[in-house]
Chain A
Amino acid sequence: MKGFPKYYTFWQRLGLHGLRLTAWLALAFLMIPILVIIPLSFNVEPYFTFTDGMLALDPGAYSTKWYAQIIEDDKWILAIKNSFYIGILATIIATILGTTAAVGLSNPVMPLQRFIMAILLSPMIVPLIITAAGMYFFYSQLDMTGSYLGVIIAHAALGTPFVIITVNAALAGFDLSLVRASMGLGARPLYTFIKVVMPLIRPGVISGALFAFITSFDEVVLILFLAGPEQRTIPRQMFSGLREQINPTILAVATLLIISSSLMLFTIEYLRSRGERIRTGQL
């Protein structure tokens, strides 16, 4: 914390301290509900509250048995497998569709850019429950409810707008004369795309893909409507766990999710700043 400029009055200093305090409180408000889960997941008792032993930091009051239970429970194993299977396939589809859509929309000759963009982003804006209900009736006609394909397509549709947004942002700083330069040097459009456009928008593509994956990973509404017991994912399993048998296994899963999500977020940030450094020549 650097000192204030000398010309600050007492009230300005007080105001700024107040501002800092508010900012820290806001941060705490956002973080505490997430962080509180982590110690609770090590509770030896099957409760969602801190026991006296935990507060006294008694080692006997902590255990990793809820983590062991995840591994022992076939339902959880299936749910974890499903989450990754559905998430990864949906992410691949969403990334390909979103990237090509964003590149196409960035071309100045493309007509109705704004209109098409609005349509492509609508899955993000329309309430999920409406999308889910619509898809349910649509899939019923095609006999696709309770199938992996149906869930993957539905999740891909949810993830695509995120990819479009991040790739579109990456393309905003893209110098179109690079494409001309590449073609002038003898490279065909596809080669140009792979060797010049793609490496430069890659940070956008990757962060879009991660967003798409996270969207699929913690999505529960569409799963409730479209998935059968075979396609249970982690959030779906947690959802039923909360209703049927309340025990801290859910918290153990939640802790794992928090850790994996944070890792992804750090990856995004690392890749983004690395791309930035290459472009500004500080690498």
Chain B
Amino acid sequence: MTKQNNNDPYVRFINVKKSYDQKNLVVKDFNLDIRKGEFVTLLGPSGSGKTTCLMMLAGFEDVTSGRIMIDGSSVVEVAPYHRNIGMVFQHYALFPHMTIGENLAYPLKVRKIPAKEIARRVMETLDLVELGAFEKRYPGQLSGGQQQRVALARALIFEPRIVLMDEPLGALDKNLREQMQFEIKRLHESIGFTAIYVTHDQTEALTMSDRIAVFDDGVVQQCATPEVLYERPANAFVADFIGENNHIEGTVRSIAGDLARVELSDGTLIEALNINCPDIGEPCRISIRPENLFIDQPAPARINSVSAEFVLNLYIGDSIHYYFKLGSGTEIMVKVLNDHESPKITAGDETHLSWSADRGLALDRPV
């Protein structure tokens, strides 16, 4: 997934801090290096500071302290109109009084490119986003998805150094969103621009990005590839924010290298990967993905097992979600593919849930 050929950072955030009121920091000590051509997503709940970081890079917000470098030089003192960064906004921000063609021509006209060249590039770019027939229309006559494709085309047409996208698909419905994700990914693959994408939708982040920086409370909790984020989250916040997770509370009994031994409230001892497990004797949280749990299948490889009471199942279609209750009252969800192996059980049945030691993560307990 990562591109090894060019490892020099192209965009660098160095100790960036941002405060609007000189009291509270919205962004606390943000550090991130982005390589040329990389697709990096800033993911986090609203108010976590991710959009502010994007706005600081674009030049619409001042940096309170720290530095932002592009291609080796600081851009903090550079005006937004000199930064040469393309931007796609959540609500498209197309100029409503200009036709689609005029919207696309705008950044080229500003750069005093000859009219002939402008006309050629406008048509070329419109074809790229498959809107060749819409040059003479006004933005108000286009659907949301079409408008966002125009916005994307406008952000690409002047061949900017970087393309920023601030929740560009937030205003679209689910089907259109998936189409546009594909579209953006296709354009990124074919043109190879450096992209920084902001979203609060983790599925979107997982499917599109080379790397994802997970934000919470103005701090990057983890920055890694989608696989690492999903399978080896750095802490309880990331584990919880990315995908679904089951939590079982326990107490640390021993730590041996990678493995932590944890005692659950009913006395069961289980083994889990030590991620950021607290000291022996401290409370901790075991985090297990719903697809890594097995129902009533004693197998030697999966050494962890707890007894649980079946509550109900939800029929999703491609999968079935089974809900269980542990003796301690903790609710556990197990995701099973909807094939002939999906178990048939009735409510109230006692059964066993098992998982292998490397699928359970021993994490700190968030306060």
Query: A residues touching B (Cβ–Cβ < 8 Å)?
Result: 175, 177-178, 180-189, 191, 195-196, 199-200, 278-283
Contacts and interface: CB of A to CB of B under 8 A. Distances in A.
Interface string B109-143: 01100000000000000000000000000111110
Contacts of A182: 95, 106
Most buried by A among B60, B84, B97: B97
Given A175-B93, A196-B95, A283-B138, 19 more contacts: A177-B93, A178-B95, A180-B80, A182-B95, A183-B80, A184-B58, A184-B80, A184-B87, A185-B106, A186-B82, A186-B158, A187-B110, A189-B81, A195-B106, A199-B97, A278-B96, A281-B96, A281-B139, A281-B141
A283 B98 CA distance: 12
B138 A278 contact: yes
A280 B94 CA distance: 13
Interface residues of B, number: 30
B250 interface: no
B321 interface: no
A181 B93 contact: yes
Nearest to B83: A184
Nearest to B96: A279
B91 interface: yes
Contacts of B138: 278, 281, 283
B145 to A, nearest CB: 15
B259 interface: no
B89 interface: yes
B333 to A, nearest CB: 40
B47 to A, nearest CB: 19
12 contacts: A175-B91, A177-B91, A180-B58, A180-B87, A180-B89, A180-B93, A183-B80, A184-B60, A184-B83, A184-B87, A200-B97, A278-B96
B226 interface: no
Contact of B89 (A177, A191, A195, A196): A177
A278 B89 contact: no
Interface in B59-104: 59-60, 79-87, 89, 91, 93-97
Contacts of A180: 58, 60, 80, 87, 89, 93
Name which of A178, A180, A185 has the most chain B CB atoms within 10 A of its CB.
A185
A53 to B, nearest CB: 56
A172 to B, nearest CB: 15
Contacts of B79: 183
Interface in B31-74: 58-60
Nearest to A178: B93
Contact of B154 (A183, A185, A279, A283): A185
Nearest to B111: A186
Contacts of A279: 96-97, 140
A200 B86 CA distance: 23
Contacts of A185: 81, 86, 106-107, 110, 154, 158
Q: Which 10 pairs, one residue from A and one from B, show the smallest C-beta to C-beta distance?
A: A281-B140, A185-B107, A181-B93, A281-B141, A184-B87, A177-B93, A186-B110, A183-B80, A199-B97, A183-B81
A186 B81 contact: yes
A186 B87 contact: no
A180 B93 CA distance: 9
B97 A187 contact: no
A167 B141 CA distance: 26
A188 B81 contact: yes
A196 B102 CA distance: 12
